Structures are given as C-alpha cells and as structure tokens.
Homo-oligomer: A and B are copies of this chain.
C-alpha cells in the first residue's frame, strides 16, 4: 500500500514512517503542503495521512482541493488534542477518519486497515446503465460503448449523484447542492449547462428531463 504522510513534526513523522515501513507499507513523507502537492501530482497514493497544522498553509485546503479535483484517495487526518473544530471541518472537507495526537501506532495501523478495507472491499462499484454506459463510482470513471470518457470534476459531481439514484428524479435544487457547498446559491442555469454537456459526452438518452422538477437517469 502506498501511503503519503504529510507531517512537519519530524519526530512524529519518523516514528510513523518506521512503524509503517516495518509493517511492509511504502511510505513517502513530505513536511509541507507545497511538497505534498508535488508528490501527489507524481504518484497515486492509496492513503493520505494528513496533519492539519502545517507551517506553510492549511492542510485542509490541500484536502479540499484534492476532493474538488475529484480524487477519492482515502484520507486520515492527524490533529492535536485541542483542535476540535479542525477535526469537524476535516471530516466535512472529505476526510475519512482522524487520529488525535498523540496516538498509538497500533491504532494508526488499525485505522489504516479499516479505511483501505472500506475502499477496496466495496461490493459493486460498477453500475451499468442500459444505454451503453458503464460507471465505476469508486474509480470515478465512465465508459461509453466501452470507450473511456473524461469528465471534469463538476460534470462528475453531477453525474455521480444521479447514477447513485437511478430511476429517481432529482430536483435541480438537489443537484446544485452536489455542485456547491451546502447553502451556496447559484443564480443561473449551471445545472442545465452541465446536463447539456454530459449529454453531449454520454449520449442524449442517459439523462432524462423531468420538466418543472429536475433530471433522472434510468435504472
């Protein structure tokens, strides 16, 4: 398992790395956000271990950014005892779990195992729509007639929501919430535009319009 550890306290970082290396994991280490960004660009990690309290920027922004770009890499955040709000925000920003410093190294292993299990052991990540479109929800990829189609992050955010509820009509309101942070209202026809683009990429029949309500993909 490839693990990226983002942590600036060297003592802790070393301890963690040693422990994980001893357990047979591949660990890369970066001590800053910029550093981490570079490493993330170069490699596909299986898990991200992220300290939120870094010198050169919020680790949280790093995570949020990743998620916005569509990465689904599992992430465990590390925070100090007294920074509760960070922890909450972290989970909201897309973290999968967190550990409070100081933590037991065995607990770290356990959580790592849990997180990666959750991601690999998924029963049925492949959804097949009867219009020649296959979707890998976990892997974030779409095939049309067997050919891979690239979706931008917004396109995916929308499509993901709809595919997860096939046969059901989703209101524009609901779909907007998939696109933007909770309350954030948008005053134009963004959803329509993205539906239009998705249709161009995936075919007209994939997304049905339910006039006056929203959209739907068939079961």
Q: In the complex, A208→B218 CA distance in Å?
A: 30
- A78 CB to nearest B CB, Å: 13
Residues of B within 8 A of A100 (CB): 84, 88
Residues of B within 8 A of A121 (CB): 164-165, 168
Q: Which of B84, B153, B167, B169 contacts A81 (CB under 8 A)?
A: B84
Decide: B213 and A153 in contact? CB cutoff 8 A: yes
Known: A165-B139, A168-B139. A219 touches B148 (CB 8 A): yes
Decide: A152 and B212 in contact? CB cutoff 8 A: yes
Q: In the complex, A82→B81 CA distance in Å?
A: 10
**Interface extent on A, as a size class?**
35 or more
Contact digits for A106-121, partner B, Cβ 8 Å, 1 yes 0 no: 0000100010010011
- A210 CB to nearest B CB, Å: 7
For residue A28, CB closer than 8 A to chain B, the reply is no
For residue A136, CB closer than 8 A to chain B, the reply is yes
Contact digits for A78-122, partner B, Cβ 8 Å, 1 yes 0 no: 000110100110011000011010000000001000100100111
Residues of B within 8 A of A183 (CB): 110
For residue A216, CB closer than 8 A to chain B, the reply is yes
Q: Which of B98, B120, B141 contacts A88 (CB under 8 A)?
A: B98
Q: In the complex, A141→B91 CA distance in Å?
A: 27
Could you say which of A88, A164, A218 has the most chain B C-beta atoms within 10 Å of its C-beta? Answer: A88
For residue A174, CB closer than 8 A to chain B, the reply is yes
Residues of B within 8 A of A81 (CB): 84
Q: Which of B92, B120, B216 contacts A141 (CB under 8 A)?
A: B216
Question: 8 Å CB contacts to B: which residues of A199-219?
Answer: 208, 210-213, 216, 218-219
- A152 CB to nearest B CB, Å: 6
Enumerate the 3 nearest inter-chain pairs by beta-carbon distance, A residue then B residue, closest first.
A139-B168, A153-B212, A121-B165
